[in-house]
Structure 1
Amino acid sequence: MTIDRRRPDSDRRQAEPELDTSEVPNRRKKQRRRHIDPTTCERDYSDPEIEFMQAMDDYKRRSGRMFPTCSEVLEVVRNLGYYRLTADQIEDLGLGNVEEPSKDELEASEETL
């Protein structure tokens, strides 16, 4: 057996609802964007490194993606003009016997700039 405990004088459908007409707060969080500041690192970035970081930052802003995929990073690198040389191109340019500079040589050359 069910007991009806509603009050006969309180019909919700008859009453006028109290409307809150105040302004609804914006609940979307504003995204904080960290801008590249080369001065915050313990070492100085080279010009190509800064160019790459700025290109990545621009890509992230345009695409709205905070963490780009490897393919997207490769796209940014290619848009900067970098590409892999074929073996024939390396030979034609005479780069086959060129050794990469050591870390010490790189640091010494950066200090002279």
Structure 2
Amino acid sequence: MVKVICDTSFLILLATKRIKNIDSLETDIGSLEFVVPKAVIEELERLSEKEEKSNESKQTLELIKSFETIPIYGNNVDSAIIQHIKDNGGIVATVDKELKNMIKKHNGSIISLSNNRIVLE
């Protein structure tokens, strides 16, 4: 089972868009388990209180109830994820360009979305 650390941007799209190839991706690289840093949950909870992001954030919080939560904390979610990748390596699911660049810089792997399909970068 390959654990994939999800950031906020990826989870919101996963919850609100129809993703076409999620099942075939699992067979290509092994069985995936999306895991959610505690810092991401805290960020989604803050966003759910803001009117413009409330519905998306609430949908996302509902989606991730069944996902494993991992102890990655920090006021800045991206920095916390990057520190975890520096220390442990791993795969991060994100659509954030800046975060992708930082993860690549620290030899992490990336799963992202392109044309409503999950891609391994």
Q: TM-score, normalised by structure 1?
A: 0.23
- Structure (1/2) with the larger strand percentage: 2
Based on CA coordinates, which of the two structures has the bigger radius of gyration?
1
What is the TM-score when the length of structure 2 is the normalising length?
Answer: 0.22
